[in-house]
Chain A
Amino acid sequence: MKKAITVLLAACLLLTALASCQKAEEESYDLTIVGKSVDMDNIYMTRIFDLFEEKTGKKIKLITFEDSAFEDSSAKLFEKGEVPDIFVHFHNADLDRFNVEENFLYLNDQEWVEDLTDGALAYSVDRDGNLLGLPFWESSVSGCYYNKKILDKYGLRPASNQSEFNLLCEILEESGCTPICWPANGCAWMLQFALDPVFADDPDLLEKLNAGQIRYADIPEVTDAVRWIYEAAQKGWFGDAYLETGWDGISPALSSGDAVMTFIWDTWFDTDFKDGKYSAGDFALMPAFLNTARDGTYEGGNLNLMMVNKNSPNCQTALEFLSFCADPENYNIAFAGISTVSVFKGQTTNIQSKMVTDAADSIARYGRVSTASTRIVGYNGDAVANAIYALLSGRVDVAGCVEQLDRDRLANAG
């Protein structure tokens, strides 16, 4: 029944979208862009759309889909041959559905490539190093965000390696604090942070995994990460309510001081954190220690890529639009006042969080591009969350969890 309703709603949305397209066509647009409605509504996006239209006089036809229907609805467009001039997509495993090689233009030769930060560039290329699109998006740094005040209260400093992190958790737990807020209920990104160093540091491993030559179980670090998560929970480092805690529970746990640390990204403090006993300013950043990197790891931002339909008659216009966006004057207008890690080297008007700037050296040293979600074929965040939940709720052991991760991955990869 649920399925039927979902299909019906999707059909309605599709009809609505088609109706909109038809109306836009009637208005004669110069450029068609398809993206998630929630993404396209971001202020820096609207700013750049408006700025482009204003400066060039060209009209942009914006086709958007709801978040939940985006992938399927977009795929249908592609199946019908209605590939937009510009397709805005997060560079994740789902991108494979859209036949990138056939539909989109590699952008390695574009002038603005030099202006991209290393992290942004690394995120935006495919497994072969082809630049898939312009990363015109806000970026963030994921790591371990900790409550400075609580650590100061106990005369503790942030950990510089996994051992110290473990010790820190141990001392905090002894002192009656919940060291880590681990929202096990439906949150998927934690393991992703653990896998980044594994695959970023050893691309061959990723190749073999994607080629089906090895499995997660063959990679000791994967098991190490899963075991650490399990043992941390057993030691009480996640507190008592981690199985019930989900996305909405992170902010209360941190702002109240019930939890001292969590693995999150800096912009989360702008978008989701609500001040309580502690405010966002009371937090600082150290690497995420998930037992796969001795010195920890940071994950770069996950960026939306503007990809150009190489088969479109408006291909040049699309490239023109990308160059417009990559112009420092324009992107500084668009990102003015926006909290984000710089994506362009010339970005000057964006706001970088103090947490990130304070940890800049460490980030520079231990930061890694988001690899797991973008490069592992069949990687699915929800499936990972389910496997970890099964582990923490005692339904599977460590080996079982790794097995489940593999199984889900392979199933998702088809």
Chain B
Amino acid sequence: MTDSRKENADVKKKSKWFLPSLLMAAVCAMALLIGVWYFRYISDQIYEDSTGHLQEIYGQVNRTFGSFMERNWGLLESWGDALPNGTGGDDSYIPNLVAEEKERWNFSKFLFLSADERYMTPDGEERKVDLGDAWVSLTRDGEPIMAGEFTSSGQAVTVFAVPTKPGEYRGFPYTAIAVSYTNEDILKSLKVNAYEDTAESFVVYGDGSVLLSSRAGGTVFTNYFTYLDAASDLDDRAMEELREDWAAGTAGLARCEINGEDNCILYQPLTYRGYMLLSVVPLDAVGKGFMQVQKITVLFLGAVFLLVSCAMGMLLLIRGYKQASRNKTELAYRERMFDVLSNSVEDIFLMLDTVTYRVNYVSPNIERLLGIPVEEARSDIRVMAKCMVDDDTVIPADKIQAIPLNGSLHQWFEYLHQITGELRWYRTTVYRMELEGMEKYIVVLSDRTQERQMNRTLQEALDTAKSANEAKSNFLSNVSHDIRTPMNAIMGFSTLLERDAGDPVKVREYTHKITASGQHLLSLINEVLDMSKIESGKTSLNAEVFSLPEMLEELSIIILPQARAKKQIFNMRVHGSPPERIIGDKLRLSQILINLLSNAVKYTPEEGKVDFSISALSGSAPQYAKLRFTVKDNGIGMSEEFQKQIFTPFSREISSVTNKIQGTGLGMAITKNLLDLMGGIIELESAPGKGSTFTVELSFALPEEESGDDWYRQRTWRILVADDEPDVSETIREMMTGTGVYVETACDGTSAVKAAARAHEEGSAFDIVLLDWKMPDMDGVETAKRIRGSVGRDIPILVLTSYDWNEIEDDARSIGISAFMPKPFFVSTFWNTIKPMFETDRTPEEDGESLGTMDGLRFLAAEDNELNAELLTEMLGIEGALCELALNGQEAVEKFSASEPGYFDMILMDVQMPVMNGYEATRKIRSLPRPDAAAIPIVAMTANTFAEDVRRALESGMNGHLGKPIDMNEVRKTVARLTGRRE
């Protein structure tokens, strides 16, 4: 801190106290001034009163002493007149007289004074006498005198003398007579008891020489001026004034210190020859009574002032204490809150001295956030440096010192947590601040790890978004191309169709191509919409119990034609014993697997191979089944680079091969998203030119075991399974284990024929023969013929095939094939297939063999679009069905209500219609009080093709869902399913 700053801080601090201090000082000064003024005023008053009193007292003393002198002189004068000149012959007269008078007046001696300054007592004692100047006054001027003298023994006496007519006593000639008093005696008249014996009285001459002193012990003073000059604090001027007053016999009063004590000197002229009566009284004694009052008053006022001051002081102290206590409490609260706060935030706070770098404060969360104990950080701030990952980022000291007051410095540091080893990013801000006049560094370490990670994520997201945007742009470009291509075909062939309408061959050719282009366009639109739906988060799963074998059969039906079209081998196998009924979203699972299988077929050249296997994985909970679906092809494969973004929407590997393959780049993204939604995983192994393997693992809940239709348990079955792939035969054996079925296997047709014949001959003929359709030495048809040849036509022979058996079914049945079973083999499918063969009361209708799929059926079609309605009527007509139209849901309800029960076989219901939509209309129909209201199949026929749409349709009471544009194959399948008629 610079000096000027320190001074400023000091000035600020001082200014805070300046005004109150000034006020307090002013009040005190005022009180002091008033006190001094009061004291002086009172003192002056007391002094005046006291000295007045003193003057009064000593005036009385003066008068008393004057009377004493006058009385003595008067006595002497009366004696002088009465004294006989000589003794008159009676020597005892004078002594007797003196003795009497002495008794009366209490003097010490009577003296006859001669003109030659000698005296004689009545006893005849004669001595020289020294009366000084007074002698002259006595003898020359004839005045009565008073003078000091020492006796022969040195005792001080005072002599009063008067002149007489000359006389003689005992031969001693005298001209004056005198009486003497010892000073002790005479001083009694000067004694003043008013001042507790502290007062001294002197009889002094005008020049200061002392005649009498009241002080015990006698008179040792020769001159009181001299004494005052030496012992008092009177200056020359005051002494001179005193001297003049005394010389002039002027009464007066002086106040001075004598030997350090305040005294009052009162001087009054005596009525004799310039003598002064001098009274010296200690000032304390002069006004002692008054002083006492003054002292008590001053003490009282002082006590009041002190009391008030103390009270004020106490109040201030209490207030200050309370304030300090409040401040302390607040500080403690604040510190505690700050500790709590700092413990709950990810910011570390430190306070350092700017000079010594001593740590004044460190927030307790430093231990949690950096793994440094608080005390360690407090004792030496350099401990922080060891946490820094990069030493180069340490802020140099000169840079810190260069921070201006109220300025700050920011720096990012990566710290290593000393306990957990975790790396965290902190944004360190160093503030330079002034606190209580001292400059401090406030250091704040803000944990910005999440922010940094978020930024990174955002950056990645931004990059991804950019990439996606780019991909989308590419896609739009592609899709534009892809849409235009089939549209171009549709438009072009439509033009040609119009032109060559008369040529049936060309019409069929053009129609076929238009249909193909339309289907491609439709799939493109479906996928785009699907992806859009997934990305918007609106996709949800519809969990339901479904049959795995059925789903696989449906997959097979879809994929097999595509594979066959490219002369590819498509194998579908089951490993382990996967459950046949599982709970899941069948639609979405089918979509995933179709995507994978379609891509495999699509990107595998002709005559390639696509393997699809389903495995049941162990280790899952009993109520769950974990299945692995593997799609393996030997197609073109993928580069490693593309594998990383294969699941990114609109991504397609650009190559000479893929460019020729239609695709949206959305399939795999949809697959991945759906798998994420279902909690599954997908893995990819691929290499360019070596094919690809997609592995999907998913868990499915298992439904509670249903009381199955276990009719087959009524007897023991013997089954012969013939397949050139031993795995297939063994899988079937495993699957039949525990069902009471004996399974014998054969690896080719010949073995199968022999086994069947042998069993027949041995009387233990097989109940059922299960043959693979394609076997190397002898195919299934030939094998079936021979078995029939050896064992007859009673034994049901089933063909197990991965292929679409529609084309060969008629021929196969003609040679004795009882039924076809799709691969892979499932137990339930097997029993369901053979069950009719062992039942005897079935009708041809039930078998669905007498009628075509829609032949003769009456449809009620609710369709608001006239064009679509016409198209539908025409297409149903082609299929041999009748169709009545309703323009909205309301009309459909009314028409159905108005019809006879059983009049309509099925209702095709558009969903979005005016007046009443399809869902509402369905619910109305289902609620109609007629016997066929609940049973009549109602199928949604709508452009709303999402799974949610399907679910919503089913929830409203419909039985099926057909998407627009209408695919008659789908219509046939649905009708067959709902009516039990064969397609």
A contact residues vs B (CB 8 Å cutoff)? 152-161, 163-164, 166-168, 170-171, 174-176, 295, 362
A156 adjacent to B217 (CB under 8 Å):
no
Task: Across the interface, name the chain A residue whose C-beta is closest to B259.
Answer: A174
A167 adjacent to B217 (CB under 8 Å):
yes
Please name all residues of chain A whose beta carbon is closer than 8 Å to the beta carbon of B231 when the two chains form the complex.
154, 174-175
B223 adjacent to A175 (CB under 8 Å):
no
B156 adjacent to A160 (CB under 8 Å):
yes
How far does the Cβ of B509 sit from chain A's closest Cβ, in whole Å?
153
A155-B153 contact, Cβ under 8 Å, with A166-B217, A174-B259, A175-B231: no
B230 adjacent to A168 (CB under 8 Å):
no
- In the complex, A156→B153 CA distance in Å? 19
How far does the Cβ of A315 sit from chain B's closest Cβ, in whole Å?
48
Tell which of B154, B215, B225, B226 touches A161, judged by Cβ atoms closer than 8 Å: B154
Tell which of A155, A158, A174 touches B225, judged by Cβ atoms closer than 8 Å: A155
- In the complex, A158→B230 CA distance in Å? 17
Asked if B150 is at the interface of the complex by the 8 Å CB criterion, the answer is yes
Please name all residues of chain B whose beta carbon is closer than 8 Å to the beta carbon of A161 when the two chains form the complex.
154-155, 218
Task: Across the interface, name the chain A residue whose C-beta is closest to B218.
Answer: A164
A157-B220 contact, Cβ under 8 Å, with A174-B231, A175-B231, A295-B153: yes
Q: A-B pairs with the 4 shortest C-beta distances? A: A155-B226, A167-B217, A160-B154, A155-B227
- In the complex, A156→B231 CA distance in Å? 12
Asked if B219 is at the interface of the complex by the 8 Å CB criterion, the answer is yes
Most buried by A among B220, B222, B223, B231: B220
20 A-B contacts (beta carbon < 8 Å): A154-B231, A155-B210, A155-B222, A155-B223, A155-B228, A156-B220, A159-B220, A160-B150, A160-B154, A164-B218, A166-B217, A167-B216, A167-B218, A167-B220, A168-B220, A170-B217, A171-B221, A174-B259, A175-B231, A362-B154
Please name all residues of chain B whose beta carbon is closer than 8 Å to the beta carbon of A166 when the two chains form the complex.
217
- In the complex, A158→B210 CA distance in Å? 14
A163 adjacent to B222 (CB under 8 Å):
no
Within 8 A of A (CB), among B148-169: 150, 153-156
A157 adjacent to B222 (CB under 8 Å):
yes
Please name all residues of chain A whose beta carbon is closer than 8 Å to the beta carbon of B259 when the two chains form the complex.
174-176
Task: Across the interface, name the chain B residue whose C-beta is closest to A163.
Answer: B217
Task: Across the interface, name the chain B residue whose C-beta is closest to A154.
Answer: B230
Please name all residues of chain A whose beta carbon is closer than 8 Å to the beta carbon of B223 when the two chains form the complex.
155
How far does the Cβ of A249 sit from chain B's closest Cβ, in whole Å?
25
- In the complex, A198→B383 CA distance in Å? 99
Asked if B208 is at the interface of the complex by the 8 Å CB criterion, the answer is yes
B216 adjacent to A156 (CB under 8 Å):
no
- In the complex, A176→B257 CA distance in Å? 13
Asked if B859 is at the interface of the complex by the 8 Å CB criterion, the answer is no
Task: Across the interface, name the chain A residue whose C-beta is closest to B208.
Answer: A155
Total A-B contacts with CB atoms under 8 angstroms apart: 65
Within 8 A of A (CB), among B170-212: 208, 210
Task: Across the interface, name the chain B residue whose C-beta is closest to A157.
Answer: B222
A164 adjacent to B220 (CB under 8 Å):
yes
B227 adjacent to A156 (CB under 8 Å):
yes
B218 adjacent to A155 (CB under 8 Å):
no
Chain B interfacial residues counted at CB < 8 A: 25
A164 adjacent to B230 (CB under 8 Å):
no
Task: Across the interface, name the chain A residue whose C-beta is closest to B224.
Answer: A155
- In the complex, A227→B153 CA distance in Å? 25
- In the complex, A174→B220 CA distance in Å? 14
Please name all residues of chain B whose beta carbon is closer than 8 Å to the beta carbon of A176 when the two chains form the complex.
259
Please name all residues of chain A whose beta carbon is closer than 8 Å to the beta carbon of B215 when the two chains form the complex.
167
Task: Across the interface, name the chain B residue whose C-beta is closest to A296.
Answer: B154
A155-B150 contact, Cβ under 8 Å, with A163-B216, A175-B230, A176-B259: no
A154-B227 contact, Cβ under 8 Å, with A160-B150, A295-B153: yes
Please name all residues of chain A whose beta carbon is closer than 8 Å to the beta carbon of B217 when the two chains form the complex.
163-164, 166-167, 170
Further 13 A-B residue pairs, CB within 8 A, beyond A152-B226, A155-B225: A154-B227, A154-B230, A155-B228, A160-B150, A160-B156, A164-B217, A164-B219, A166-B217, A167-B217, A170-B217, A171-B227, A175-B230, A175-B259
How far does the Cβ of A146 sit from chain B's closest Cβ, in whole Å?
11
Task: Across the interface, name the chain A residue whose C-beta is closest to B209.
Answer: A155
- In the complex, A164→B259 CA distance in Å? 19
B230 adjacent to A155 (CB under 8 Å):
yes
B230 adjacent to A153 (CB under 8 Å):
yes
Please name all residues of chain B whose beta carbon is closer than 8 Å to the beta carbon of A154 when the two chains form the complex.
226-227, 230-231
How far does the Cβ of B150 sit from chain A's closest Cβ, in whole Å?
7
A153-B220 contact, Cβ under 8 Å, with A160-B154, A174-B231: no
- In the complex, A159→B218 CA distance in Å? 9
How far does the Cβ of A305 sit from chain B's closest Cβ, in whole Å?
34
How far does the Cβ of A331 sit from chain B's closest Cβ, in whole Å?
34
How far does the Cβ of A204 sit from chain B's closest Cβ, in whole Å?
24
Tell which of B154, B156, B216, B226 touches A153, judged by Cβ atoms closer than 8 Å: B226
A160 adjacent to B155 (CB under 8 Å):
yes
- In the complex, A295→B221 CA distance in Å? 18
Please name all residues of chain B whose beta carbon is closer than 8 Å to the beta carbon of A175 when the two chains form the complex.
230-231, 259
Please name all residues of chain B whose beta carbon is closer than 8 Å to the beta carbon of A168 when the two chains form the complex.
220
- In the complex, A362→B154 CA distance in Å? 9
Please name all residues of chain B whose beta carbon is closer than 8 Å to the beta carbon of A153 when the two chains form the complex.
226, 230
Task: Across the interface, name the chain B residue whose C-beta is closest to A170.
Answer: B217
Please name all residues of chain B whose beta carbon is closer than 8 Å to the beta carbon of A159 when the two chains form the complex.
218, 220
Please name all residues of chain B whose beta carbon is closer than 8 Å to the beta carbon of A170 when the two chains form the complex.
217
Task: Across the interface, name the chain B residue whose C-beta is closest to A176.
Answer: B259
- In the complex, A186→B786 CA distance in Å? 169
A171 adjacent to B220 (CB under 8 Å):
yes
- In the complex, A156→B790 CA distance in Å? 182
Tell which of A152, A163, A295 touches B218, judged by Cβ atoms closer than 8 Å: A163
- In the complex, A295→B218 CA distance in Å? 13
How far does the Cβ of B790 sit from chain A's closest Cβ, in whole Å?
160
Within 8 A of A (CB), among B221-276: 221-231, 259
Please name all residues of chain A whose beta carbon is closer than 8 Å to the beta carbon of B229 when the two chains form the complex.
155
How far does the Cβ of B677 sit from chain A's closest Cβ, in whole Å?
115
- In the complex, A411→B222 CA distance in Å? 48
How far does the Cβ of B538 sit from chain A's closest Cβ, in whole Å?
116
How far does the Cβ of B967 sit from chain A's closest Cβ, in whole Å?
140
Task: Across the interface, name the chain B residue whose C-beta is closest to A155.
Answer: B226
Please name all residues of chain B whose beta carbon is closer than 8 Å to the beta carbon of A160 when the two chains form the complex.
150, 154-156, 218
Please name all residues of chain B whose beta carbon is closer than 8 Å to the beta carbon of A174 when the two chains form the complex.
231, 259
Please name all residues of chain B whose beta carbon is closer than 8 Å to the beta carbon of A164 when the two chains form the complex.
217-220
Please name all residues of chain A whose beta carbon is closer than 8 Å to the beta carbon of B226 when the two chains form the complex.
152-155
A157-B216 contact, Cβ under 8 Å, with A175-B259, A295-B153: no
- In the complex, A163→B184 CA distance in Å? 11
Please name all residues of chain A whose beta carbon is closer than 8 Å to the beta carbon of B150 when the two chains form the complex.
160
Task: Across the interface, name the chain B residue whose C-beta is closest to A174.
Answer: B259
- In the complex, A295→B150 CA distance in Å? 13
- In the complex, A174→B208 CA distance in Å? 20
- In the complex, A168→B231 CA distance in Å? 14
- In the complex, A159→B222 CA distance in Å? 11
How far does the Cβ of A277 sit from chain B's closest Cβ, in whole Å?
16
Task: Across the interface, name the chain A residue whose C-beta is closest to B153.
Answer: A295
How far does the Cβ of B222 sit from chain A's closest Cβ, in whole Å?
5
- In the complex, A152→B219 CA distance in Å? 14
Please name all residues of chain A whose beta carbon is closer than 8 Å to the beta carbon of B156 when the two chains form the complex.
160
- In the complex, A153→B221 CA distance in Å? 11
Task: Across the interface, name the chain A residue whose C-beta is closest to B219.
Answer: A164
Within 8 A of A (CB), among B815-863: none
How far does the Cβ of A395 sit from chain B's closest Cβ, in whole Å?
31
- In the complex, A153→B150 CA distance in Å? 22
Task: Across the interface, name the chain A residue whose C-beta is closest to B184.
Answer: A163
Task: Across the interface, name the chain B residue whose C-beta is closest to A172.
Answer: B220
- In the complex, A362→B224 CA distance in Å? 26
Please name all residues of chain B whose beta carbon is closer than 8 Å to the beta carbon of A167 when the two chains form the complex.
215-218, 220
- In the complex, A39→B219 CA distance in Å? 44
Tell which of B154, B208, B225, B228 touches A295, judged by Cβ atoms closer than 8 Å: B154
Please name all residues of chain B whose beta carbon is closer than 8 Å to the beta carbon of A295 when the two chains form the complex.
153-154
- In the complex, A245→B865 CA distance in Å? 149
How far does the Cβ of A201 sit from chain B's closest Cβ, in whole Å?
15
How far does the Cβ of A348 sit from chain B's closest Cβ, in whole Å?
29
Task: Across the interface, name the chain A residue whose C-beta is closest to B213.
Answer: A167
